[in-house]
Structures are given as structure tokens and as C-alpha cells.
Chain A
Amino acid sequence: MTNKETSPAGNGKPKLAIYWAASCGGCEIAILNIGDKILAVDEAFEIVFWPCAADFKYEDVRNYPDHSIDLCLFNGAIRSSENEEMAHLLRQKSKVLVAFGSCAQEGCIPGLSNLTSASDTFRAIYMDNPSIDNPAATLPQTVTTVPEGELHIPVFYNTVRSLDQVVPVEYVIPGCPPEPPQIWAVLEAIVTGAPLPAPGSTVIGASHLAVCHECPLEKHEKTIERFYRPYEITPEPGLCLLEQGLMCMGIATRGGCGALCPRVGMRCEGCYGLLDGVEDQGANMISAIASVVNVGKPGDDEAELERRIGVAMDSIVDPAGTFYRFNMAHSLLHRVKTGNNGDVQNRGSETA
């Protein structure tokens, strides 16, 4: 990519847009967390759209010529019709569109609501919530008629999608949120005109190896008898958390974060997402984890074998929410099964 093209405003600096769709806002803070370097960013770019920091209207963007934005950092998942509309709009206006952070990359925490439906979500938020008093059962309506005319608000979709499931993106910067040094490294590369890898949902600002590679904890051959939730045990310091029965996702998660969590005894939750060549992070995790659960050996009675393995696996609470905490919307299954009307069907004894 070249960043020397002229912009509509004509001051010669490349144009930068930053947008916040369905996400918590942490990504915006992460950008600010690059510290003094933010001045260098301001120096290098002309900011043409950043609703969180400066007053721009969607209309402004609509008025920009196509491909006039040189770099757009898009954080947040696609949850509503507004998110989707903005994704299309920014795609149309940007030369380089970057899925910034886990929500845009893979759905992240908002994606977990794919384990339920829009109506169930509404029910939980507006009706069954103990802190809500809603006698009129008022729910967000897309169209409301008032004396002044019709009001429209965005449609709340049933399924959360990642940015690249809606529009093509050039690059992906993973993380929940991306680590500031990594953000700066990417921006610096762009500012200095360093060559970037070939575009096409290409991950930048992260490692190509799993978190384990960066993790200083000592690792051995793994045999796990059962799993613990973090509150159940105090991990031995210096020792691989997974070996101690904590469901550390580091083995199946892209590095680049510097293994910040395991370093301080917290299991990796997988926010940097899946590695190259992996189609489904959760499925890989299941395969790896189940392989080293040390239950059952040749010669065991078949029924007893199945029972004992079942018991061991039962110590893993909420596998879907654990293995797909960040990757749900980007996983092969994408969401919970729905009927023809979009409702979630009987889900057996789901526990979480």
C-alpha cells in the first residue's frame, strides 16, 4: 500500500478512520494506551472519522469519494443493521480496511450471544432482568410512529457476525483488546511505509505461534486427570497451568500478547484467536485437551470406559463458552441451532 496519495482535503497526509461497532470500547482505549505515540499518529495521519474522539457525522463519510480513506481501523462485531451498514460504507470509502480487535475479527464476547437468539436476549435484558421494571413490556421497536412521523432505529440481528463475514478486509489485528505495543508497531510500519504482508484477512500485529511459545511457565508431557475452575485451586507458580488442570487456552491461541495472563497465574482465555491453518479454534482445543485426559486404557470394559471418560469430561464446565469465548462467530458452527422461525430449539441439559 502506498500512503502518499492525495486526500480530498488536500493536506497531503494519509487519511485515517476509526470506527466502533458492536464492542465494549476497550479497543478505543487500547489505541490511546499507546501513550505519547498518539501524537505521532496525529502527526502522520489526517483523522477523517473517529466518532468516539471527534465530531463526525455518518453523512460526512457518505460524502467522501470512494477509496478516499487510506486506513480504517474498524472495531466491533456486526450485531445490528447499523453495524452492517457502516461496514459496507467504510468498505466502500476505504483503501485498507482493518478488522481491529477480537470483535471485528471473530465476534468476541458479543458473539457468545450466538448461543441464544435475539428474542431471548431481549427477554433477558428488558423483561426477566431483576433490576428492570417494565410493566408495559416495552421493547426496542425498529419503527415507531409518533405525531411527528415515523422513527427508525436499527434492527437487532439474531446472529452476531465478524466484520470479514460481511465485507472483505485487508488485515486483521487480533486481541481483546490488541496490545498497545502491537498497535503501535503496525501503525509505525504503515507510517514509515514498511512493506506489509499480502492483504486478504491477513493477521498483523501478532505472532504466528501459539501463546505457549511466549509463555515462560515450565512445560512437561501432559496427563490431566480432571479440570478445575480458577477458584478451585491455587496454581503452583512457574508450572504450566494446563498441566495443573486449569483450562488454559494458550495452546490453541495465537500469541503476540506476550502471554500476559499465564505469566501471572491466570489461564489464557484465547482472545488472540485462532492460528493460521486452523479452521476452528474450539474444535482444535477439544481435540488437544481430550487427548491428554488420562482416563481409560486398552483392555478396559467398554461400558466402564465410556462412563469414566464421561465423568472426566464432565469436569469441564460450559465447553462451548470456554472454547469459543472469543471465536464463536467465526467458528464453523457459528451459532446455536435455530428452528425455521429462528428460535433456539430444545437444547437438552445445557448448563453453564
Chain B
Amino acid sequence: MTSEPYTPVIVGFLCNWCSYRAADLAGTARLTYAPTMRPIRVMCTARVEPQFVIKALREGADGVLIAGCHPGECHYVEGNIKALRRYTLLKQMLRQFGIEEERVQIVWAAASESKVLADAVDQMTLTLQALGPLRWRQTVLNGHGAEQAVRESADVRRAALAAQEVEGER
């Protein structure tokens, strides 16, 4: 299902205390990684509302990366655990919308773990390249197309009749 090679766009929510600093450190250490992640700083992963994630996907991102402190190391004690709970439920729901699991990821990167963060971006970029673009606006904008609905109902009928023929020959 891989289409033409494309450069994915990832929206990255980085917590101010660990992962944003990890990202800063990745730069300071001149770690090279894919320029696909567009960062948004939040004070804590607990500030990442599920609707931010959904909004990013809807507005054209191919994936969303949430990055925070390791559980137990949150600067706000357990904000990241709240984030993990929301993320877990959100993913279960996104699956119902046909959005592949890999498109929304959470990663724990402490302030010193610049490599972890850089690797996560690279890895996610590869994964998204394999999955192909998401183009959610296209899904929404084209979904109700009239022509298409007409074509489809014809398709359904054709398929059903073909199936019956096969049945009949037996």
C-alpha cells in the first residue's frame, strides 16, 4: 500500500522539562535526525489535550509524537502518567477511525536522552513513510462525494451479482 515516497510531517508535543531539553541537547550535540518533526512546546505532556492530537491529524499531519519525562520523573510528579492514560484511550478510539496505531506515539525522553528523542523521530519518519500519507482533509472533504456514492452502489451490486453467479455454477 506504499505510495510514492514522500516526506511525512510529524507534530511533536515536547514537555518543557525533559523532552524539549532533550531536543535542545540533540541540537547542541549536533545529532542529525529527520527534519520531519515540527515542535510545539508544552509545560507538561499532561497539557496535551487529545483534541490537539486530533486537530493535528485533521489539519494535515501524518503523525503525532508526544514526548515527555519518564514515568516517575515528571516535573509535575505524574503529569506524564495522566498523558499516558489519555493517549492509551485516544489510540483505542483512533483505531476505530482507521488511523493506524503507529501514527500517534508517545515516547519518554529525559533531558539527557537526546539520542532517544532523535531516534524516535527517525524511527517514526520511517514508519510513516511505509504507511503513506494520511491526508485527513481529503478523507473528510471527499468522503461525501456524490459521484463516488453512485459509483459505489453500482460496485456493490456488481460484486453481489458476481458472487451469486459463482454460487450458481456450483
Residues of chain A whose beta carbon lies under 8 Å from any beta carbon of chain B: 81, 114-115, 117-119, 122-123, 127, 135-142, 155-161, 279-280, 282-284, 286-287, 289-291, 293, 295-300, 302, 305-306, 309-310, 312-314, 316, 318-321, 323, 331-338, 341-350
Contacts and interface: CB of A to CB of B under 8 A. Distances in A.
A300 B71 contact: yes
B18 interface: no
Contacts of A348: 95, 98, 100-101
A346 to B, nearest CB: 7
B142 interface: yes
Contact of B99 (A117, A127, A316, A337): A337
Contacts of B156: 119, 122-123, 127, 137, 139
Given A305-B71, A333-B97, A337-B99, A313 B89 contact: yes
B153 A118 contact: yes
A287 B86 contact: yes
Given A118-B152, A291-B85, A293-B85, A319 B96 contact: yes
A337 B92 contact: no
By CB atoms of chain A within 10 A, which of B58, B73, B81, B89 has the most?
Answer: B89
B149 A302 contact: no
Contacts of B54: 280, 283, 331-333
Given A119-B153, A333-B140, 12 more contacts: A122-B152, A155-B149, A156-B153, A159-B144, A284-B51, A293-B85, A296-B85, A298-B72, A299-B71, A306-B88, A312-B85, A333-B57
Contacts of B90: 283, 286, 290
Contacts of B88: 290, 306, 309-310, 313
Given A283-B49, A300-B71, A350 B89 contact: no
A320 B149 contact: no
